Structure 1
């Protein structure tokens, strides 16, 4: 059997440590029999021949741009069966300039609520909150999250705008606080899958920093997600 091929595309905002974060998963991919190619730009997405040979794309690109041809190539690859997996802003806040990309992914980062103003000091930690990732009924039996109980994190809690074509494996709820303007709790998807053509997409919103990705639950979800999304044809 020929070796499966994974393409790691990374870049964008350095605050999400795209190099360090993706390096964390390279040993796993190679142990699972993937030949891994790493790209620091999105130009490879316009290379139809390269994507046709790619079974899995792992993307960690936050707050960047994508050209029409690059997105067209990415979408065509997914529709043809290439899996697409990512975490946090590396997939849910990648290309704000492309509404078509938002449709492909099915969910878009809107914000990460902050702590009480009096506890904020102006750093990234202002947005670190203790919150719970709760498995849905589907998540309790899905291959990506089966056997994983609800778990707590202390990091950015993503508020996500999404559509109904995603299959939600886990959620997180933003509570009402006197220093925030919303009036009832808001539940956002925290882990979801999406079928697009012949392809499978997996998004996990935890993953702001390497230590979060090293959490046993988060890492297991992402690694299982990679295997589940890999081209099945």
Structure 2
């Protein structure tokens, strides 16, 4: 019997990022690929570590706020065991600003969006970086332009050029800031895309929707990949005890 593929989405935090709408969109994306999605309006479900271990994918849609250390640890252990972790914009990498282990796991942290919303910029696809971006071309976006502090270990799938607007950072050199990336946390796959200030960005700019949907599925498929190859968390256990 084929195992049912499952995803867990928890939504909340700052309402300005439209967590309910974004969660609903991601649920639809995953259902198109055969996933059964459970959506929760609080973090209380994260207390159930065994349930998280059963998931193929965890999707945080929670901007700012705080997370209990035991909740974050439960997610960390599930992802390390093979469960995927994927999210967008502030819903994943501007969540739980005081929790550095969350930042370590997700691969980056928002620090600014010079100019606010309504900034025109280009997303540049890093061709050949991943099957996630296969066939995608560079595309324009009008939205918040995320400046992030990023883990140098990530695999960058798309970038954008800074600066676009005048702000204090223009005294420094021009940089290509990651927009989307993948990384690993133990045996688990992690995907992040900085687009998604409002839910409709994934409709207005179709390549953004394609990128996000592919990233969600890529992260979710990691659990089966790890199981098929007999990957365990034994090699991580000694270090994990520190947390």
Do the structures match in fold with TM over 0.5?
yes
Q: Aligned pair 1:143/2:144, yes or no?
A: no
Q: Gapped runs of 5+ residues in structure 1?
A: 115-125
- What secondary structure, in the 3-state scheme, does the structure 1 residue paired with 2:101 have? helix
- Is the aligned partner of 1:55 residue 2:56? yes
> How far 1:86 sits from its partner (Å)?
0.3
Q: Tell me if structure 1 keeps the 8 A contact 2:80–2:187.
A: yes
Task: Name the CA distance, whole Å, in 2 between partners of 1:149 and 1:174.
Answer: 19
Q: Tell me the matched-pair count.
A: 220
The structure 2 residue matched to 1:212, chosen from 193, 201, 212, is: 201
Q: Give the TM-score normalised by the residue count of structure 1.
A: 0.90
- Higher helix proportion: 2
Question: Is the deviation greater in 12-21 or in 181-190?
Answer: 181-190
Aligned to 1:25: 26
TM-score (norm 2): 0.86
Instruction: Say whether the 8 Å CA contact 1:172–1:187 is kept in structure 2.
Output: yes
1:122 equivalent in structure 2:
none
Aligned residue in 2 for 1:194: 183
1:174 aligns with 2:162: yes
How far did residue 222 of structure 1 move? 1.1
Aligned mate of 1:154, from 103, 118, 142: 142
Residue deviations 1:184-225, cap 9 Å, x none?
212211000011111000000010001112221111111111
Bigger Cα displacement from structure 2, 17-26 vs 68-77? 17-26
After the TM superposition, which segments of 4 or more aligned residues of structure 1 sit over 3 Å from their partners? 176-181
- Asked if the contact 2:88–2:193 (Cα under 8 Å) also holds between the matched residues in 1, the reply is yes
Structure-2 change in CA distance of 1:209 and 1:79 (3 Å): same
User: RMSD between aligned alpha carbons?
Assistant: 1.4
* Structure 2: distance between partners of 1:176 and 1:15: 23
User: Which residue of structure 2 lines up, in the alignment, with residue 7 of structure 1?
Assistant: 8
The runs of 5 or more residues in structure 2 that have no matched partner are: 228-243
